Structure 1
Amino acid sequence: MPRPTAGSARPPAQTSKLAQTYRRFAQVDAPKISPLYERIALALSESPEALHAIETAPTRKQTPLLILAALHHLALTNQSPPLTTAYQAAATSAAAASVAVTSVAVTSAAAATSDEPATTAPPPAAASDKALASPTAAGPDKASPAAGSGEAAPTAVVAAGSDTTASRGVPEHMDLAVEAAVRAVVEMKDAVVAVVGQRKVRANVLGNHAVLYPAIAEVARRAGIGAVGLIDVGCAAGFNLNVDRAGINYDNAQSLGDPSSPVQAAASVVGERAVPTNALPEVVVRIGIDLEPIDTRDPDEAGWLRACVPPDQPDRMARLEGELELAASAPPFLMRGDKVELLPDAIAQVPADALPVVTTTWALSDLPLESRLRCMQRLDAAATNRPVAWVSVEGVGVAPAIPTFGDRPASGHSIIGLALFDHSTLHTEAVGRCWLRGQMLAWLADS
């Protein structure tokens, strides 16, 4: 495919706002998501024909992730056989690269001494383990650099096989996939526009098990109740509701949950404290609340979730398949509507002898403060005759009443919070920090 030569003038379309959007996505966002998408987005930004095709979609539907998901949908449904073949080759290549990375990690771990963990690199000097683990190490108003100043997350290698394992793939297979993707945008413009017109990007729907499991188990222990009813607010596909049925492996050799589960989540632990090993009590009911919940029993909905995973991310695709399997074996009860106003109805469905545990994982940041305070009021009112728990994983300062260790808002990490409403009493505590949507965490509470 012809590309502009060095020093040549760019065609007019390449200086357009849309071209800039795709070029920026390729340079800034895509490297964190998918090497293949990085290259496809850049190629699209340099193709006047492709940009013209994308511009025929409604403006709000021209976003890179949505167009890329639509292309993956065409490949998965074999509407474009050349794209299907090219994406399959890229996926196979990425899987082989992922296996090689895992083999290196296993070899390194076997060679490491017992007192030098192989899977966790030490945090940088400016953010030592002690500073990360202690909420007061840098003073009440001065969080540690990595935790509260907007700097990068602590340096650590996420366990092989986790969601952030980046398979770089083999360039020759990528070249074929990039060429097929650009050609599909141009030649199948109507099909691409039809897909994006009916869909929205469903990113980050995988369960946040590594963070939620120890937090739910801890709040249940504190409440002294042997059964819980899970209520996930902003549930999307409801995968968080299967937290008790997943297996979780931390890079400090700790593990929680079911080692035989089709879902095996991985996370890195930083700081001096280990993650609590309390077992999560029996889950007697699973309820999800969302304006647009995803019923994964619908093959069309499940297929679109697959399309939203880049084809060169086989580990993430395998994790999604496991999540879909768990959800199919124990479908949650999904409530469609306002995630604050439906809380009382959801809590009322939890049996009287079980603890309602409401979970929010980055579900409140899009709500104004008034709505977040109303959420607290709904939880408090529901606790008139029974205890109600809330486990929050939200950005710094987003969850009302949850302490923040003195960290500043928009610090690049999230606070793991526990709240226990019991009649007129409210107990709140921040028990940890997490980064990378829960794939790296520091547990800070005494357990």
Structure 2
Amino acid sequence: MTLRDAFLRQATVCPQLGSPFMGQLCGLLADMLDSPGPVFERMRAWPGDVSAAGHSVPLRLCGALHGLVIDGTAPELAAVYPPNQTDDDALRRAVLAAISTHETRIQAWLDNAPQTNEVRRSTGIIAVGQWLSNRCGLPFNLLELGASAGLNLQWDRMALDLPDVRFGPDDATLRLSPDWTGPLPPQAPVHVTRRRGVDLSPLSIADEGDVLRLRAYLWPDQPDRRARTDAAIKLAHKHKPEVAAGDAAPWLERVLQDLPEGEITFIYHTIAWQYFPQETKERCAAAIVAAGARATENAPLAWLGIEADDQKPGAGMCLRLWPDDVTLNIGRMDFHGRWLIWTPPS
């Protein structure tokens, strides 16, 4: 995919995910790519896959621009960003001026892939967690791959509000209410004994720059996503997540050496697997399968992937269970967790 096509693709996809402004911005940026300057030159010469399935170059640039708006560095740009309304010409002028004026900072943001740590993806994790708890009746040992700031390691502290029923704590400060299709998950108590994650470049909720990155990659005309993320950050300050820095493969090989007795080890990742190098994917899968071969009824293993696949709409929810080594396509979910189609086995 060419760089221009990558921006045009985001211009189409973002409105479908509820962000007309991002559609407008990416469409304009697609027509600016021949502009002079180091930022545009770097993007034009970008090695590898520039699309959302690869290095996500359009979202890197959009996140950098939004960051300038959030922290007040570029007031002229903020004046044409939501909640303000603007026309294409005014937005184009402000964006070009911001890229020229803040070139060094934008270059630094281009160095790193976007990390939204989308909190509503916990919708699918909660549903599967309820199902697993009902099936196994054991506490959870949580392992998240691509955990970012660890916000979705707290899914058991969130509430899933569905018509006439709530899953999760009654006093939960963070409540998720997706459009739900299908039967309801079973009601089952959930207890987590340990929660750990790994990320190549984890973000710290104690670092103001990292928190800015989390907020900047949320789309400017979606304040509800910002509110949920801020609530999850507040929750994480109270219960600090344990997220290791490094490649997922050696970390997973190490932590899976022993499956704790009397617990279900629950591995999961949400819209992260596609960004792993092929060698990392192969080593992670091999480590999980090897651990699955050692799983027992009293030390079971579950592997949930909520990831893009060759079907539409949204992302597939694939659950693999040991000791029986059963693979279940348990549902589909919107990439931002706005809706979920639940299709558990009978």
**TM beyond 0.5:** yes
Partner of 1:240: 152
Measured against aligned partners, the alpha-carbon deviations of 1:27-58 in whole angstroms (never above 9, x if no partner) come to x2332352222222333344478564532435
Partner of 1:29: 13
Q: Is the 8 A contact 2:264 2:302 kept in 1?
A: no
5+ residue gaps, structure 1: 1-16, 94-170, 397-408
Higher-Rg structure is 1
Count of residues in correspondence between the two structures: 330
65, 68, 90: which one aligns with 1:71: 65
Partner of 1:208: 121
96, 109, 113: which one aligns with 1:195: 109
Paired with 1:18 and 1:414, the residues of 2 have a C-alpha distance of: 24
Partner of 1:428: 326
1:185 offset after TM fit, Å? 1.9
141, 159, 174: which one aligns with 1:263: 174
5+ residue gaps, structure 2: 51-56
1:364 offset after TM fit, Å? 3.7
Confirm whether residue 339 of structure 1 aligns to residue 264 of structure 2.
Answer: no
Partner of 2:54: none
1:234 offset after TM fit, Å? 2.3
Question: Is the partner of 2:42 in helix, strand or coil?
Answer: coil
Relative distance call for 1:32 and 1:183 in structure 2 (3 A) is farther
Q: Is the 8 A contact 2:28 2:92 kept in 1?
A: yes
Partner of 1:411: 311
Question: Is the partner of 1:274 in helix, strand or coil?
Answer: coil
1:190 offset after TM fit, Å? 3.8
1:71 offset after TM fit, Å? 1.0
Q: Which moved more, 1:367-376 or 1:255-264?
A: 367-376
Q: Indicate the RMSD between aligned Cα atoms, in angstroms.
A: 3.3
1:174 offset after TM fit, Å? 8.0
Confirm whether residue 278 of structure 1 aligns to residue 272 of structure 2.
Answer: no
TM-score after normalising by structure 2: 0.80
TM-score after normalising by structure 1: 0.64
1:249 offset after TM fit, Å? 2.1
Relative distance call for 1:174 and 1:327 in structure 2 (3 A) is farther
Q: Is the 8 A contact 1:43 1:182 kept in 2?
A: no
Paired with 1:431 and 1:190, the residues of 2 have a C-alpha distance of: 45
1:314 offset after TM fit, Å? 0.4
1:309 offset after TM fit, Å? 1.3
Partner of 2:340: 441
> Where do residues 320-335 of structure 1 align in structure 2 (5 Å cutoff)?
320-335=229-244
> Where do residues 345-424 of structure 1 align in structure 2 (5 Å cutoff)?
345-347=254-256, 352-365=261-274, 366=276, 367=278, 370-371=282-283, 373-380=285-292, 383=295, 386-395=298-307, 410-412=310-312, 413-421=314-322
Paired with 1:202 and 1:215, the residues of 2 have a C-alpha distance of: 23
1:204 offset after TM fit, Å? 5.1
Q: Is the 8 A contact 1:343 1:378 kept in 2?
A: no
Relative distance call for 1:75 and 1:220 in structure 2 (3 A) is same
Identity of aligned residues (%): 22
Question: Is the partner of 2:249 in helix, strand or coil?
Answer: coil
Relative distance call for 1:444 and 1:295 in structure 2 (3 A) is same
Relative distance call for 1:173 and 1:330 in structure 2 (3 A) is farther
> Where do residues 24-173 of structure 1 align in structure 2 (5 Å cutoff)?
24-26=9-11, 28-33=12-17, 34-47=19-32, 50=35, 52=37, 54-57=39-42, 59-60=45-46, 63-87=57-81, 90-91=82-83, 171-172=85-86
224, 229, 235: which one aligns with 2:137: 224
Relative distance call for 1:312 and 1:364 in structure 2 (3 A) is closer
Q: Is the 8 A contact 1:247 1:259 kept in 2?
A: yes
Q: Is the 8 A contact 1:361 1:393 kept in 2?
A: yes
* Amino acid aligned to 1:183: A
Paired with 1:255 and 1:304, the residues of 2 have a C-alpha distance of: 32
Paired with 1:207 and 1:340, the residues of 2 have a C-alpha distance of: 26
Relative distance call for 1:36 and 1:420 in structure 2 (3 A) is closer
Q: Is the 8 A contact 2:66 2:217 kept in 1?
A: yes
Q: Is the 8 A contact 1:228 1:355 kept in 2?
A: yes
Paired with 2:72 and 2:108, the residues of 1 have a C-alpha distance of: 16
